[in-house]
Copies of this chain bind each other. A is one copy, B any other.
Amino acid sequence: MLRLVIVDDHPIVRGGLRDTFADVEDIVVVGEAGDGAEGVDRARSLAADVVLMDLRMPGTDGVAATAALREQVPDARVLVLTTFDGESDVLPAIEAGAIGYLLKDALPDDLIRAVRAAGRGESVLAPSVTQHLMGQVRRPGAGTLTDREKQVLQLVANGCSNREAATALFIGEASIKTHLQHVYDKLGVRDRASAVAEGYRRRLLT
């Protein structure tokens, strides 16, 4: 029997999750919490096996709570369940010790399977998260942009369209597009805006 604690600031969401596990024989929801700090308390006092953790919450957020849990309740597995695959949340959450990362658009069955997997110490990631994570891990050789790619990204950050960047570097627009595609692949993003964001996060841009 897996003892599950739900941490989410929305009562509606908590209700939905409780329902999801209501008639699952091997899982019992032993507690709930509306913010991170409360979640850590509940998980400890109720000896949770698995904690379903939302990330964006008022007060102590999910990442901080996850880190605290790993320290204070090492036996509890944290399964992140968040609304959007804000790529920026994935790494912090996993670094903080989350064992899995699902999106709230997951099917109930998937969620149940993921909780069981978490209970066994296995990792379950949403597909899009997996992809993003691979982009990160693929670092050796892939996390590093070539000089040209950095140049192009910098120009894009400075407001250049592809055409303008092409003029700036005295090359064709097609080459800019190719470079940007490579940048997207290496940074694990799908558009120029988030590529710029990643560029700043990784201190590639000024």
Residues of A60-119 whose CB lies within 8 A of B: 83-89
With a cutoff of 8 Å between Cβ atoms, the chain B residues found around residue A193 in the complex are 156-157, 159, 192-193, 195-196
A206 lies within 8 A of B88 (CB)? yes
Most buried by B among A154, A155, A157, A205: A157
Task: Please give the number of chain A residues whose Cβ is less than 8 angstroms from any Cβ of chain B in the complex.
Answer: 29
Report A15-34 residues with CB < 8 Å from chain B CB.
Answer: none
Query: Within 8 Å CB of A89, what residues of B?
Result: 158
**Interface of chain A: mostly helix, strand, loop or mixed:** helix
- B-contacting 9-mer, from A35-43, A46-54, A140-148, A160-168: A160-168
User: Does A189 lie at the interface of the complex (its beta carbon under 8 Å from any beta carbon of B)?
Assistant: yes
Most buried by B among A84, A86, A159, A192: A159
The complex places the Cα of A196 from the Cα of B197 at a distance, in Å, of: 6
Query: Which chain A residues numbered 159 to 206 have a C-beta less than 8 Å away from chain B?
Result: 159-161, 164, 168, 189-197, 200, 205-206
Question: What is the CB-to-nearest-CB distance from A129 to chain B, in angstroms, rounded to a whole number?
Answer: 12
A161's partner among B168, B191, B196 (CB-CB below 8 A) is: B191
Are A159's CB and B87's CB within 8 A?
yes
Pick 28 A–B contacts, CB within 8 A, sort by A. Answer: A84-B158, A84-B160, A84-B164, A84-B168, A85-B159, A86-B154, A86-B155, A86-B159, A87-B158, A87-B159, A88-B157, A88-B158, A88-B206, A89-B158, A156-B193, A157-B196, A158-B194, A159-B189, A159-B191, A191-B192, A192-B192, A192-B193, A193-B193, A193-B195, A193-B196, A196-B197, A196-B200, A200-B200
